[in-house]
Structure 1
């Protein structure tokens, strides 16, 4: 019983061997991220096999718009996680209590705003992106259902971010697994049995996310030994509200910029037709799994750096950054290798169309080396964010996406036009992504070495 209680207790990452702290924290989060990736993956598998390739393309085309319109939650989540980890490391109970309560209130306000604006804007944005007429209605219904139930997605991300800031990655994992299993069951029920198509997939996701957010909230309400969950703290204070915004806005802007770049490139992708759109969906689903070690270590490094910066243990931050990045590279290389070996089997899960699987696998091979570069970007950016420097990673993302990725994508498509490929070669889209990742890793290393992040603690 004591062992089980210890497993679900917050982890103090200011003591012990850095690599052990990071690894113990990362592994449950990696498993949790795999479970979260199953949300979209199962959606795609069920839709691709039971509705068709066009429905698969519809779900994928909706992704960039969904990402663009949830940037408010990304910002609040990152700001809350950084504040919580630093206050936890500094042992400031009252500040920790206020930060958690303020984050919950801001999430509620943001959920209402996004629900209203995004539901109205969904179809006009899809039309603006030249979404093929054959999948437009499916895309619209999928997005509108997700945005009407956006509060579940929002609160899960913020509350699980708070749990991770406290060093508890196990609880978020457990609740996400419960939600993922429920999502799979509901997908099959709504799509296969009730024949609800794309709308059924969206509804299943909304219900599963809502349940995971409720479970996270109940867990936080029981953590009375660390902070106070009382009504007076839910009044948004100037200091804590501004800190959440200051720390979170750059991350939200980063996500918005990346999503805008994806939207611009999505317009280019759409010009190649439904088949390439469907292939792109498959690649992005597999890409989601390839990225999991990178995102997991990035989040772990944010918590690790936040707690140790709060404790003013800067040498320990540098030591952990070096060890954490090395582990991230190792994990990423292993998973990328497995995807290259078993990629065709993985992609065959999404569709029975053989040439679609071959096309998807060819695109995936282009990206392979880039995942090592992303391991470096995510880990070192995580350290900078945890220290309170969320602006530098924002500028790195702007350079990667706006300055590099988009112009290179359109430039390569233009340069590869020929009699055989009048619209340019489709590979250009993935080559541009690979180039931007590699150059982004070099820029990130330079910015981390400059050490400006040391001056940003709250």
Structure 2
């Protein structure tokens, strides 16, 4: 591990101060997430500038659905990070089987999401009540986009492996290269070739496979015995079992969490306004940068907590949580206010000719963006608990506090608002379900976190005293 840290510039998570190493680890994750988000955002900006509002609505209407399908598997990749990080903290020397297995899972899940997305694209968009004038373009975009999922998943699992070792800079460099390719070919396919939504989807696919190739090269360059060998790909049962135990609840939580988002998108679509769909989708992309910054802090939290849980360092676990909460507020609150303050100018990038779409987008930013730091605090607490190898309760708490709550809101409060109020007012009523659910869920998770830390401390003291754990 010393050779790996020297060569990769990996962060030491179990010794020394917490704040600066945490920032050093997290900053590349934040920038990587921003570049990844640019794939979809650049798609929308290009079609907004060179195609039109209907194309923006077509691309934007797929965002929730793409997240719903892919994030289950991304949750499992986080299980790979926790598994490797815990083993590193516990002093495990040979992690090669875990590396080989995690990479192989990335290939398999990429193929599964590719086939699922291509086959069911139109049916899923119809289920989401996508407006009929948007449906053909949205279906085309979605099917081409999912062709790139094997590349996306390979990169995601490769990044999860490197992150567990403390290397977050390499994935940042690879996403920078892929992002540049995405921008160049977006403009080439749309402006020069006139391919519209098909062109931006194709550019994204190319960038996804490039990032996969680059991360694979990095994994093959690791020091022995951790080096990836494409000739020795395997599916080790014990490793799969542990990754699934740690990752499936995370994936299910994210998927169910996004189910409520998909239902809200469906509710937005049901208001039957292309301007509303376009404005909501554009504002969602702006908010995505805030969320990406905050979830990156949470990802740093899961890696740090995983290694320190493996080392049974209760004091550092507490410090990691305090630092991560501080950073969530320090990042999320200013970004949310800035997004709201600059909202109209940002929305014009997506909707240069739609005043109505801009107003709907501002309505969303004023409710969601300024309160988004609450979501960051909630996610950070969830990831902290997962890093301590406790996976079931965060799933249950999030499903109850966010998913079930929002579904009840959608089917009770929102229909009444829709019948008695105008579109804008009904839209506001729909959106305020977000911050309320974040507060409820965080409260429950925080109480559980306090209990979990006490249990780990008692267990650690018992082991030191010779008492069986």
**TM-score, scaled relative to structure 1:** 0.93
Q: Is the 8 A contact 1:297 1:378 kept in 2?
A: no
Q: Which runs of 5+ in 2 are unaligned?
A: 461-469
C-alpha deviation, 1:72, in angstroms: 4.5
- Equivalents in 1 of 2:455, 2:172: separation in Å? 31
Question: Hey, what does 1:408 align to over in structure 2?
Answer: 409
- Equivalents in 2 of 1:177, 1:297: separation in Å? 19
Q: Is the 8 A contact 2:106 2:156 kept in 1?
A: no
Question: Hey, what does 1:264 align to over in structure 2?
Answer: 263
Question: Hey, what does 1:194 align to over in structure 2?
Answer: 193
- Equivalents in 1 of 2:194, 2:245: separation in Å? 46
Q: Is the 8 A contact 1:73 1:158 kept in 2?
A: no
Q: Is the 8 A contact 1:279 1:357 kept in 2?
A: yes
Q: Is the 8 A contact 1:298 1:378 kept in 2?
A: yes
Most deviating of 51-60 and 363-372: 363-372
C-alpha deviation, 1:234, in angstroms: 2.9
Cα distance, 1:109–1:292 mapped onto 2, change above 3 Å: closer
Q: Is the 8 A contact 2:333 2:371 kept in 1?
A: no
Map 1:417-456 onto structure 2 (within 5 A).
417=418, 421=422, 425-451=426-452
Cα distance, 1:439–1:419 mapped onto 2, change above 3 Å: closer
- Equivalents in 2 of 1:422, 1:368: separation in Å? 20
C-alpha deviation, 1:41, in angstroms: 0.9
Most deviating of 134-143 and 349-358: 349-358
Question: Hey, what does 1:34 align to over in structure 2?
Answer: 34
Are residues 1:300 and 2:300 paired?
A: yes
Question: Hey, what does 1:212 align to over in structure 2?
Answer: 211
Cα distance, 1:453–1:306 mapped onto 2, change above 3 Å: farther
- Equivalents in 2 of 1:235, 1:225: separation in Å? 17
The RMSD of aligned alpha carbons is 2.2
Question: Hey, what does 1:388 align to over in structure 2?
Answer: 389
Question: Hey, what does 1:84 align to over in structure 2?
Answer: 84
Most deviating of 201-210 and 398-407: 398-407
Most deviating of 436-445 and 138-147: 436-445
C-alpha deviation, 1:433, in angstroms: 1.3
Most deviating of 352-361 and 21-30: 352-361
**Superimposed CA distance per residue, residues 122-176 of structure 1 (whole angstroms, 9 cap, x where no aligned partner):** 1111122221111111111111112222101111111111111110111111111
Question: Hey, what does 1:242 align to over in structure 2?
Answer: 241
C-alpha deviation, 1:424, in angstroms: 6.7
- Equivalents in 2 of 1:412, 1:276: separation in Å? 20
Cα distance, 1:52–1:446 mapped onto 2, change above 3 Å: same
Cα distance, 1:33–1:44 mapped onto 2, change above 3 Å: same
C-alpha deviation, 1:419, in angstroms: 6.0
Map 1:361-380 onto structure 2 (within 5 A).
361-380=362-381
Are residues 1:282 and 2:269 paired?
A: no
C-alpha deviation, 1:421, in angstroms: 2.4
C-alpha deviation, 1:68, in angstroms: 2.2
3-state secondary structure, aligned to 1:153:
helix
Question: Hey, what does 2:52 align to over in structure 1?
Answer: 52
3-state secondary structure, aligned to 1:291:
helix
**TM-score, scaled relative to structure 2:** 0.91
Are residues 1:129 and 2:147 paired?
A: no
- Equivalents in 1 of 2:175, 2:423: separation in Å? 46
Cα distance, 1:187–1:322 mapped onto 2, change above 3 Å: same
Q: Is the 8 A contact 2:72 2:254 kept in 1?
A: no
3-state secondary structure, aligned to 1:388:
coil
Question: Hey, what does 1:174 align to over in structure 2?
Answer: 173
Q: Is the 8 A contact 1:384 1:453 kept in 2?
A: no
Q: Is the 8 A contact 1:97 1:233 kept in 2?
A: no
Question: Hey, what does 1:13 align to over in structure 2?
Answer: 13
Cα distance, 1:127–1:296 mapped onto 2, change above 3 Å: same
**Superimposed CA distance per residue, residues 243-291 of structure 1 (whole angstroms, 9 cap, x where no aligned partner):** 1111111011112212222222222111112111111101110110121
